[in-house]
Structure 1
Amino acid sequence: MTNKIFMILTFIGVPVSVIGSLMHWPSILMFIIYCLTIVSLSSFMGRATESLAIVAGPRIGGLLNATFGNAVELIISMFALKAGMVGVVLASITGSVLGNLLLVAGLSFFVGGLKFKRQEFNVYDARHNSGLLMFAVLIAFVIPEVFSMRMEKHETLTLSVGVSIILIALYLAMLFFKLVTHRGVYQHERETEGHDEEEPEWSKGKAIGVLALATVAVAYISENLVHTFETVAHSFGWTELFIGVIIVAIVGNAAEHASAVLMAFKNKMDVAVEIAIGSTLQVAMFVAPVLVLVSLLFNNSMSLIFSWAELVAMASSVLLMVVISNDGESNWFEGLTLIAAYVIMGIGFYLL
């Protein structure tokens, strides 16, 4: 039923989005249409990556889900940078970290925990990812903010570029570590149980084709979505910070949200956790640095400098997730705790 709804939304939303943008329909109406269409397109991306995940295995499957889930946000952010909305882009990075660690993981733990009293995932991956999360947020994000207090604007940008290059290099090294040198070293036997018995929804070729078409459609709609932000913000009294942290992050990560919760409901917690935490690492260590480097091509360059509210929120999310996930087990109450933290921070950013 859900797939049928998303299919109808997609086949209606894409042409309506094109017609509405050409005929200059009201911005608020188009904002709603664009968001719904992107979410429906994200569902197709999620189904395609799930099919590929069955063929590739849990680690690569989780990486694929995280990558194509973040592709939507990366596209939206690039158009936002082009439009000079640096604050929205930085806020969307914050929103992705909070959304993945608190909302996506929280919903996964909660929904899965309602069906299974106790769910397990790879404790070695959890501990390994904990260290990377601490590095990416508490060092790579906080240090530039601290040093920027005594720097000129151009020096801050130089520092941000240097940090970005290091983050990208370390992210590539992490992929090499997980997928090449230490692939399967810390893998549990249960990760592969029943793997060969499950049939993917779509063939490999069809899944790749759907991903390609959906990505092109998302790119077109995202560019138009960005142009509605200013009007929508003025109409509803929203700040750039709230739009980035909540709206862009949720719309941009819709595919991951749905995929992770579905995997948890099927008791595939290794994939669900890899989507939530792996996506956060990808945002912090790849998406954010890439946006810093891409911004050099535009009039308004983006430094990797967040507000203290954003930094404290991200650091708190990382610490809470590390404490909850380091035992390699989850239940519905831990999920509810993560969701509660997300709601509290959401209220704070709305009122800020």
Structure 2
Amino acid sequence: MNRIFGLIVLIGVPLTVMGSIFHWPSMAMFIICSISVIALSSFMGRATESLAIVSGPRIGGLLNATFGNAVELIISVFALQAGLIGVVLASLTGSVLGNLLLVGGLSFFLGGIKFKRQKFNVHDATHNSGLLIFAVIVAFIIPEVFAMTMNERETIQLSVSISIIMISLYLAGLFFKLVTHRGVYAHAEPEVEHSHEEPEWSKPKAILILLIATLIVAYVSENLVHTFEDVGEQLGWSELFIGVIIVAIVGNAAEHASALIMAMKNKMDVAVEIAIGSTLQIAMFVAPVLVLVSLFMPVQMPLVFTLSELVAMVTAVFLAINIINDGESNWFEGLTLLAAYLIMGVGFYLL
């Protein structure tokens, strides 16, 4: 499988370059770029696994989420430049839904088929639950409510203020987990089954591969963004559906692949850290950064989502919290999350 993904990258990336030079049809470029990004994600997944073995699940999961969300951030910046604010907000919504319901659901489902009962750090789960509630319930709903009685300038000012607070809290949360309270809430049961495992790549090589793959994905993603409008018109997809489903899945392919690999190897601490940690990073760092970046664009982006996007995110957060708070998972819980994602996907398609 690794050879197949490597072959796809060797073919797909040069084809992307040729297509951008010779202006190939949007549908062809959309397919080539999407497949190339997904293939590149396999390399990011293998690098993450090596880092998780060397540095531990928290660092490995955080690095994967960071590099993976760098792709999402890059795609969104190009979309902002093109004035596609609706697509950007929808893609942020899709990332939250995709990480919590699709990635989390597939991880629990596939891992649960192989292992009837999988465990992960319950203290990390409850800590992340509180931040999820803050990020989506507090930081996303408050701008929506206050924006009803504000003009456009005041809404942007509110969004910028909230964004600065969210970024500060996210960085403080990382300091809490990785510095002041590192190891305080470790697993009660030592994971001796992985202690002998050797990483595929050394730490420097894994980080280098993550960096190179991210840079290539950034280039491919820029070309992918330019196909959205034409492909949407040809297939009858709305801007909302493209953002929530298509951009989110392609932009977060790296996390998707990595989390599934970890779950199939019963490394649920890493899988959950990728799914939940990536969601937090999107909501508390990527979204606020995009608000601040938009200040330098022709059109500014307020942190105001549509009602359907807010309801979907709030529902996903509460469902995920109820499932992860016991520190255990099984295939049926995964299927429940996947069912919720499919229902929301159908809803956004029909809007």
TM over 0.5: yes
The CA deviation string for residues 301-333 of structure 1, in whole angstroms up to 9 with x for no partner, is 111000000000000000001111111111100
The residue correspondences of 1:1-352 to structure 2 (distance < 5 A) are 2-190=1-189, 192-352=191-351
| Identity over aligned pairs, percent | 72
The CA deviation string for residues 234-259 of structure 1, in whole angstroms up to 9 with x for no partner, is 10111111001000100011111111
Deviation at 1:215, TM superposition (A): 1.7
User: Where do 5+ consecutive residues of structure 1 fail to align?
Assistant: none
Contact 1:46 1:69 (C-alpha < 8 Å) held by counterparts: no
Q: Give the 3 Å change call, closer, same or farther, for CA 114–162 of structure 1 in structure 2.
A: same
Give distance in 1, aligned partners of 2:245 and 2:61: 23
Give distance in 1, aligned partners of 2:184 and 2:125: 14
Letter in 1 for 2:256: H
Using the TM superposition, name which of 48-57 and 133-142 deviates more.
Answer: 48-57
Aligned-CA RMSD value: 1.0
Give distance in 2, aligned partners of 1:5 and 1:326: 38
* TM-score using structure 2 length: 0.98
Deviation at 1:204, TM superposition (A): 2.0
Letter in 1 for 2:117: R
Using the TM superposition, name which of 245-254 and 59-68 deviates more.
Answer: 59-68
Contact 2:67 2:211 (C-alpha < 8 Å) held by counterparts: no
Deviation at 1:195, TM superposition (A): 4.1
Give distance in 1, aligned partners of 2:190 and 2:334: 22
Give distance in 2, aligned partners of 1:312 and 1:127: 22
The CA deviation string for residues 184-232 of structure 1, in whole angstroms up to 9 with x for no partner, is 0000154542444111111222222222221221111111111111100
Superposition misfits of 4+ residues, deviation over 2 angstroms: 189-196
Letter in 2 for 1:148: A
Using the TM superposition, name which of 19-28 and 44-53 deviates more.
Answer: 44-53
Give distance in 1, aligned partners of 2:48 and 2:262: 12
Contact 1:57 1:195 (C-alpha < 8 Å) held by counterparts: no
Q: Give the 3 Å change call, closer, same or farther, for CA 191–74 of structure 1 in structure 2.
A: farther
Letter in 2 for 1:269: M
* TM-score using structure 1 length: 0.98
Give distance in 1, aligned partners of 2:117 and 2:35: 34
Contact 1:53 1:64 (C-alpha < 8 Å) held by counterparts: no
Q: How many residues align?
A: 351
User: Where do 5+ consecutive residues of structure 2 fail to align?
Assistant: none
Deviation at 1:156, TM superposition (A): 0.2
